[in-house]
Amino acid sequence: MKIKVCDPFPDGACCFYRSLGPLSKLSKLDSTISIELLKNVSWYTISDADILFFERPQDQHYLEAMQMGKDYNIPIWVDFDDDLFSLPRDNPGYSFYSKKNNQAIIEKCIKLADIVTVATETIKQQFSHLNKNIVVIENSLNDYNIPLEKIKNRFKIISWRGSNTHRNDLLSCSEGMFNLAKKYEKEWSWVFVGGQQNNDLWYITDYIKQHFNLKECDIVTYHKFLKDLKSSIHMVPLVVNQFNKSKSNISWIEGTLAGAAVIAPQGLSEFDRPGITTYNPENPDSFGYFLEKLMKDEKLRLKNYQKSFDFIEENLLLSKVNKKRLKVIEELMQKKNTNNKEGSLMKFEESKLAHKYCKGDGIELGPSAHNSFGLDSIKIAPKERIEFWNKSQELMGEKPVEIDIYGDAENIPLDSKSMNYILNSHVIEHVPNPIKAFIEWDRILKEDGIMFMIFPKRDADPIDAKKPISELESFINQFKNPKPLTDEHCHIWIFTLQRMLELIDYCNENNLISWEIIETQETDDKVGNGHTIVCKKK
């Protein structure tokens, strides 16, 4: 299996995280895979390729290369780590990417690809009108070369890393930095990695006495410097605009690698992660307030660092994330070998995680034929929604699932402690009273019973992407003072993985349920547009 890679910047950070970096490690999982960087593209350099991979294709040369690959029946895989259609005017790349001709070429490249992988759900939504086969593969830590190791001893250092593309992002929080640098001048130092060649970091360091600047350097040198630095806080100041909403998790991973607690703005889904302290970018005092809170509270810093470390170790190591790339390769090769017709209806794979935990007698809430789990469970759905349910399955070319019992998530007509598992996918966001539903599920589960739940990522639906994340207080108020809510076949609630974990914690702490969270997936292994949480009843 030979994958030939076209990357205009093979020495850059994007290549390290998105193309040659992760692709070169696929052989650790499948020894038949080999990777080759293409410096020149012609019919004879691509003719022996099984897959052509393009990182951020952006000019006519790459478009022609992709078309050549299509003519040779070579699957085309395109990857993007940024929304190149939404660069702000202050970004150095704006003059290139804002040109209509260049945008048209990028659009054609996306449309031509057999599959497009992107770093975030937001990019997927922004590109979804150009290609229907888009897969989110999160940035990850290359644990083969850079092991994630717990940092024990830290220095009172606040770190930042960025290029001139982040000039305005850094300046947006400069006042808070100036005030805290002066206030804690004898206690804290500041380290800035990046900036211009003359080491002038846009005047910010003129006002910070205890500072050190490191010019932009290669990614290996930077990672070594980062681990040796052992900073206590890593800051990610960002202006909340459409381009930054597509920003990935790299700075969070790098900050955690250094042993630091991370601070970042609210309103960016990639930074609504465990352990990240978020500030309100619309409040000029918010950044300084929350940064000072971290500076003054070592226990809080260590607690947040541990949360981030645990999540990254469980979900964002390259050795794990690369399994998603293997699935992409499998799909591309199947397409090549069978010449599947474009536009055929999709039937999603079963979840290996569900088969691992859901055993014995169990129920599935809201089942569907095109998204079957392949488990011998009791199928339950509300009678008043059967017509809609059946129609949605028929539109996917499937015969509707036969319902065994009519009921809904809040009222299940089964005996207490009668089931070994409760399974549901993309259901809880439609439920008017989630806390009441959790209590009902807890009621019918046996001791050590499993609650297996998949729920959509906050950007999985374009409509959801425009809505705010549901607050914990809203769930509590609906439980204590229930009001009629209807979803009109859309979503009542908007979740992130962190918000759902907070909701379960609240229910446990108030003795409404007794669940132990035993496994989570940042991206579910079913459809891939949701999060998974698996709990065991204590």
Do 361 and 294 lie in one domain? The reply is: no
332: in domain = no
- End of a domain among 313, 337, 360? 313
pTM of the model: 0.64
Angstrom distance (rounded) from CA 403 to CA 274: 38
Do 370 and 492 lie in one domain? The reply is: yes
Do 22 and 162 lie in one domain? The reply is: no
Do 163 and 118 lie in one domain? The reply is: no
Do 85 and 117 lie in one domain? The reply is: yes
3-state helix, strand, coil in the chain (%, to 5): 40, 20, 40
329: in domain = no
Do 118 and 171 lie in one domain? The reply is: no
38: in domain = yes
At 188, is the secondary structure helix, strand, or coil? coil
337: in domain = no
Angstrom distance (rounded) from CA 308 to CA 388: 41
CATH code, 366: 3.40.50.150
Cβ burial, residue 203 (10 Å; 0-12/13-18/19+):
exposed
**Total structural domains within the chain:** 3
408: in domain = yes
The pLDDT of residue 280 is 96
The helix or strand, by DSSP H or E, that contains position 159, with its residue range, turns out to be strand 155-162
The pLDDT of residue 45 is 81
357: in domain = yes
Token pair 């696929």: residue: 26
Enumerate residue ranges in the chain where pLDDT < 70: 195-202, 337-347, 391-397, 462-463, 487-489
Do 46 and 102 lie in one domain? The reply is: yes
The pLDDT of residue 502 is 97
The pLDDT of residue 345 is 43
Token pair 């079913």: residue: 526
Of 59, 75, 61, 137, residue with least CA distance to 112:
75
The pLDDT of residue 338 is 60
Angstrom distance (rounded) from CA 261 to CA 275: 7
CATH code, 47: 3.40.50.2000
The pLDDT of residue 465 is 73
Contact 11, 39 (CB under 8 A): no
Do 72 and 163 lie in one domain? The reply is: no
Amino acid (one-letter) located at 430: H
Residues near 133 by Cβ (< 8 Å), separated by ≥ 6? 113, 114, 115, 116
Do 92 and 130 lie in one domain? The reply is: yes
Do 8 and 107 lie in one domain? The reply is: yes
Q: Which domain holds residue 309?
A: 155-313
- End of a domain among 291, 313, 335? 313
Contact 327, 138 (CB under 8 A): no
520: in domain = yes
Let me know the angle formed at the C-alpha of 306 by 175 and 511, rounded to the nearest 5 degrees: 110
323: in domain = no
Do 25 and 114 lie in one domain? The reply is: yes
- End of a domain among 136, 169, 186? 136
Do 104 and 162 lie in one domain? The reply is: no
